[in-house]
Amino acid sequence: MSELSNKLPSDPISAVGVITSFSKAPDDYTVVAQTTDGSDADLWKDGLFKSKVTRYLCFTRKPGPDVVVDIKVIDIKDALPEGYTPVEETMDTKETAMRKRRLCVKISPRAAAETAVYDIQIIAKTKYHLVNYVCIGRTMSRPEDEHQNSGNYTMTALDDVPFVVPEKFFQNPKEMQQVNLMGITIKSLAEIEEEFQYNFTTERSIAV
């Protein structure tokens, strides 16, 4: 990886986009198809479920009047940073570019730019850091867990899904109705006590 880090391109990136397949990249665009450890760099994949939906980051260094000076990855609910343009749609199909996260790019006229982005890599494990690279995302953690550990938090398909309990479940029913499930009858406490009540009269008479 140090060899990769020491060979930064001489031309800055002039545009960034997202595509649904690395085979559909526009001309002059480079696709980030793999992470630094050789894994699939799909931005859409989930840790729990396999999906046919894929998203890949791509960029170009084609000379033009503008260059990319900064990139941010923010939560979809966060306000757009001033001066940044969101990458909302895929370049090839005009579908949603990312889920739960928003890729934001800051563009500046080439002549006025003091800094610029020269390369983009996606790392699979945050313990691997490339020299001369700045991390812009992929290390989200729950605020309430920060004081407990410094580990990374992986988003799952169930995150940010609202769960609402119907009002009819707020109060317990006075008596449970008998339910027969695969031959097993579920009874209320009162029904069980009534059916299996035993007053120990015989035992008490012997003890006396």
- pLDDT tens-place string over residues 7-17: 667 899 999 99
What are 52-94's pLDDT values in tens digits?
Answer: 889 999 999 999 999 999 999 999 899 999 999 999 999 999 9
How far is 31 from 58, CA to CA, in rounded Å? 4
Q: pTM of this prediction?
A: 0.61
SS3 116: coil
For the segment(s) 1-141+151-168, the CATH number from 2.60.120.620, 1.10.3720.10, 2.100.10.50, 2.60.120.200 is 2.100.10.50
- Containing H/E element for 204? helix 201-207
β-pairing, 85-86 vs 56-60, is unpaired
Q: What is the percent of the chain where pLDDT is above 90?
A: 40
Q: What residue ranges do the domains of the chain occupy?
A: 1-141+151-168, 169-207
